[in-house]
Amino acid sequence: MKKEGKPVIDLQQTDEQVRNILGISNEQRVDFKNSEIAFGDRSNKDLRKMAWLFGLMNKHWLVGLGSKIGLAAVKLRLPFVKTAVKNTIFEQFCGGTTLLNAQPTIDRLYKKNILTILDYGAEGKETEEDFNLTMNETIRAIEFAATNKSAPMVSCKVTGLARFDLLEAMSTKLSLSDDERWEYKNVLKRLDAICHKAAKTADVSVLIDAEESWIQPAIDHMVNLLMRRYNTKRAVVYNTFQMYRTDRLEFLTHSYDAARKHQFILGAKLVRGAYMEKERARAAEKGYASPINPSKEATDDKYNTGLRFCLEHFEQIATINASHNANSCLLMADLIREKNIPRNHPHLMFCQLYGMSDNLTYNLAYHGYTSAKYVVYGSVWDVVPYLIRRASENTSVTGDMSREYSLVMKEMKRRGLHA
């Protein structure tokens, strides 16, 4: 039980211990199993289509084959593949091909109290011209967000604005060549133009994604500069902390110390991390210690400890809990209640990807927590790599039903529908 004058939560405690200390019963908590709320804006026809799609994605061999065909089709620009992708997997995971096209999706989410984080899906660009196009598209998204209270944030990948090799050189070399320095200045100008535009609006923020560990020092360096410049009154810029890394909890506390010292709000989007296999393979190949935690349990532990740290300092840290993990979402909801922080406090947000974990987003929004979806938009060809990642995430190696498939099936059963 809560003791007078003592901190309620100690960062060493397990989640279960925290829940016991907080004295929160299961009945008082958000019920993520409520499929009626989760799929409240989906018709029977939508559900059948989702069941069919997630059923297909459950097949490991099919996703492997589909990924190869998808990548080949991008090169060959086969029109029939484009139509097939657009009417199936694109429709499930993307908002539309353009901002305007995504408006009906944004409106549908907003009717259920869910905000949109706009995510322009182009990846793997390599030329200065492409980088400028991505910058312009991101600025357009900020203009769009400024007039849409349903879409207050825009996400951004630095590899859409800079050459991967340049970011690696910045992260690993002691000094840059003259050409590299010129390129670096251009990247900083692009990022600054984006953040400056957001800072000029009343409430639009920019979330900078985290990427591979060997380019992340360059990203962190630039994002720290931008947070210091623009986060003096509100969190305009957010960095992303990948808690599957062994060193990120420490980095989070250092970032907080810097925010206190230089008097700015730390924008912290917490994720577990998306490049685990690539990270481990590279570390093994090059013979350095893997930067990834040794187990899933260790990652869960670091993630939840990071969340508790952010909530402990919520006035200085604006937190986005970007996760499909129900325990991590419950933990944050519990902490918000325990600390009596208003559920719509501007420094607290939950976020999932569009097309996934609707049981979390819709139920959290229903209970008044600030909840959002990352809504990817872009041309079908541009978003194929993103779609392949989503398909792989929802596939099954063991033959078990994926999380999404079983949720859809549960709601179909509740409605008395057959697949």
Ligand X SMILES: Cc1cc2nc3c(=O)[nH]c(=O)nc-3n(C[C@H](O)[C@H](O)[C@H](O)COP(=O)(O)OP(=O)(O)OC[C@H]3O[C@@H](n4cnc5c(N)ncnc54)[C@H](O)[C@@H]3O)c2cc1C
Of the two residues 404 and 411, which places its CB atom closer to ligand X in the complex?
404
Exactly one of 267, 273, 291, 355 binds ligand X (CB under 6 A); that residue is: 273
Site for ligand X in 170-229 (CB under 6 A): 209-210
Say how far apart CA 317 and CA 238 lie, in whole Å. Answer: 10
How many residues touch ligand X (CB under 6 A)? 24
Among 205, 216, 323, 363, binds ligand X (CB under 6 A): 323
Q: Are 206 and 216 in contact (CB under 8 A)?
A: no
Give whichever of 93 and 256 is closer to ligand X, judged by the CB atom.
Answer: 93
Between 90 and 374, whose beta carbon lies closer to ligand X? Answer: 374
Residue 323 or residue 394: which is nearer to ligand X going by CB? 323
Nearer to ligand X, 12 or 295 (CB): 295
- Residue-wise burial string across 200-218, b where 16 or more C-beta atoms lie within 10 A, e elsewhere: eeeebbbbbbbbbbbbbeb
Among 299, 304, 363, 370, binds ligand X (CB under 6 A): 299
Name the minimum Å distance from CB 75 to ligand X: 26
Q: Find the part of the chain contacting ligand X (CB under 6 A) among 48-56, 120-128, 269-277, 394-402.
A: 269-277
- Distance, in Å, from the CA atom of 256 to the CA atom of 317, rounded to the nearest integer, reads 7
Question: Strand pairing partners for 239?
Answer: 268
Identity of the residue, 141 or 351, whose beta carbon is nearer to ligand X in the bound complex: 351
Strand-pair category, 153-156 with 114-120: parallel
290 binds ligand X (CB under 6 A): no
E strands present in 108-198: 114-120, 153-156
Rule CB under 6 A: is residue 114 a binding residue for ligand X?
Answer: no
- The answer to whether 273 and 244 have CB atoms below 8 angstroms apart is yes
- Please give the Cα distance from 240 to 177 (Å, whole number): 28
- The C-alpha atoms of residue 377 and residue 122 are separated, in whole angstroms, by 9
Site for ligand X in 351-380 (CB under 6 A): 351-353, 374
Asked whether the beta carbons of 223 and 208 are under 8 A apart, the reply is: yes
Please choose, out of 41-49, 248-256, 265-273, 329-337, the segment that lies near ligand X by the rule CB under 6 A: 265-273
The stretch among 18-26, 49-57, 215-223, 346-354 that binds ligand X (CB under 6 A) is 346-354
Stretches 145-153, 166-174, 222-230, 320-328: which one binds ligand X (CB under 6 A)? 320-328
Does 242 sit near ligand X (CB under 6 A)? yes
Residue 239 lies near ligand X (rule: CB under 6 A) = no
If DSSP codes are grouped into helix, strand and coil, which group holds residue 141? helix
Nearest to 334 by CA among 41, 15, 7, 12: 15
Taking the complex as a whole, the smallest distance from the CB of residue 232 to ligand X amounts, in Å, to 24
In angstroms, the CA 137 to CA 131 distance is 10
Pick the closest to residue 19 from 243, 338, 368 (CA basis): 338
Report the interface residues with ligand X, using CB under 6 A.
209-210, 240, 242, 244, 271-276, 292-293, 295-296, 299, 322-325, 351-353, 374
